[in-house]
Amino acid sequence: MSTDQPVLLCSSCGAPLEAGATSCHFCGAQLAHAAGVTGAAPPGPAPGTSPEIEAIRGAVARAHGLYEQQYGYVGPTQCAQFSSKLGGLLHAVSNQVLAQDGRPIQVNYVHAASPGDAARVYQSMVAEVGKTNLVARKGAVIVEVISRDARDVEAVRHAVQPEETNQKKSSWW
């Protein structure tokens, strides 16, 4: 079977996409541009995420032994609700579910609007979830890692290369 068109795959689940589709028929993920449409703008971050989050998410997804299972993001209304709850203006909020050796790992990403917002959101998240989860900050992106296995947390921390974190590496072992 020969085709002139490359096979396009959903970035969320890997299923083949039909030309012109605006969402994945398998997992329902929304596409930023219609699949395979000539002249469409080059793919960029999906609505509701940001280039800053995508750069970190990509590094995490490429980390050795981690396999992305799902990725999602919140719309503007939910983003405003998170802004209110966390005490700082946010550009984007998204979530990634990975697996390593069958163990689930959830990574939440929050992109703050300014350095001051990032500091407030980071402190808020450390106070809220820092006793049980790794909270890390790289620039204006705050990352929360939810896993029961210290090896998984370390793999994500290593991929993120944070400027600030609520946990010391020695406390994970």
Instruction: Report the half-sphere exposure of 81 (CA within 13 A, side-chain side).
Output: 5
Percent of the chain with pLDDT over 70: 69
Average pLDDT in the 138-144 region? 97
C-alpha 43: how far from chain center: 17
Among 57, 131, 62, 68, CA closest to 104? 68
Q: Is 134 helix (H, G, I), strand (E, B) or coil?
A: strand
Three-class DSSP category at 22: coil
Tell me if 146 sits within 8 A of 127, measured CB to CB: no
Rg (CA), the chain: 17
pLDDT-wise least confident of 33-47, 57-71, 112-126, 132-146: 33-47
Average pLDDT, the chain: 81
pLDDT at 14: 60
Question: In 3-state terms, what secondary structure has residue 141?
Answer: strand
pLDDT of residue 2: 40
Mean pLDDT of 10-22: 65
Predicted confidence at residue 100, as pLDDT, reads 87
Q: Give tens-digit pLDDT for 44-74.
A: 556 678 999 999 998 998 887 788 888 888 8
Per-residue model confidence (pLDDT) at position 31: 60
Among residues 156, 158, 154, 155, which one has the least CA distance to residue 171? 154
Predicted confidence (pLDDT) at residue 24 exceeds the cutoff of 70: no
120-144 b/e (C-beta count within 10 Å ≥ 16 → b): bbbbbbbeebbeebbbbbbebbbbb
Supply the pLDDT for residue 29: 66
Helix (H, G, I), strand (E, B) or coil at 94: strand
With H, G, I as helix, E, B as strand and everything else as coil, classify residue 138.
strand
Mean pLDDT, rounded, for 151-161? 92
**What pLDDT digit, counting tens, does each position of 106-121 carry?**
999 999 999 999 999 9
Region 5-24: mean pLDDT is 62
